[in-house]
Amino acid sequence: MTTANPNTSITWRWIKTDSQVTTLYNGTTYTILNIQRGSSVSYSCTVSNSVGTSDAATILLDVQFKPSIEIKQRMIVNETEKIFLTRHIYSNPLANVSWLDGTHLFQTQALVNTTFFIIERAQCTDTINFTLVASNIVQSNVTSRVELIVNCKPTTERTNVSVGITDTSGIRFSSIIIAFLLPQYVLEYEDGTKTKGMTDTLTWNSVNNFTIHFNKSDAKPRDYGLYYLRINNVFGNTLI
């Protein structure tokens, strides 16, 4: 609505305040179809007649939209490195962000456009597929995966294993190994020669978790004794 005298031959002019040159529309109502997030700017409207031009009326248009999370390739690091995991969050208004591993919550950050997670000294067990969750008033629980892989030599909780059998049972044992890259292994007698008649399989439990199984259906007295399971990759080795 405007008042003017004379109220004929009135010219309306709509412009973006950051561009005083281009007229967007001449008329009382400026309509923006299919509005985009880049349209969050100030608009000015002036009215002119034969006497002069009005002061500009400024309208601030704030286009709100749900969060979206920057996608990056997985990060591969070495043990003992300090790790900075970062993601940009595109949202208006700003988003609240959570870092999770399954249902385990590591941290939350409020009203951010860049989120980060720091590991002071990477360990093999830090190989995780994080779930990043971002929420604002437009939409909650927008998720993305953040994949971290730590290069490391093979490790195991048990480096000494005792296997009790009878003379009528076979030999069966296994060991869970954490490693990245994929480990190689060999089972040897105490004198360093490779075992005979023992079958083995490797089960890939997850990206850095493996189970090595050994089996021999018939156990003889000569099979009793000490064995060495040697496990290695390019980052080191371990002995069971």
Q: pLDDT tens track of the chain, all 240 residues?
A: 567 777 777 899 999 888 767 888 888 888 988 888 878 889 999 999 888 899 888 999 999 999 999 999 999 999 999 999 999 999 999 999 999 999 999 999 999 999 999 999 999 999 999 999 999 999 999 999 999 999 999 999 888 888 887 767 788 889 999 999 999 999 999 999 998 889 999 999 999 999 999 998 888 888 888 999 999 999 999 999
- Name every residue whose Cβ is closer than 8 Å to that of residue 235 and which is 6 or more positions away in sequence: 78, 79, 151, 152, 153, 179, 181
> b or e along 52-62 (b: 16 or more beta carbons within 10 Å of the residue's beta carbon)?
eebebeeeeee
All domains of the chain in start order, with CATH: 11-60 (no CATH), 65-151 (2.60.40.10), 156-239 (2.60.40.10)
Q: What is the pLDDT of residue 2?
A: 65
Largest Cα–Cα distance of the chain, in whole Å? 116
pLDDT of residue 1: 58
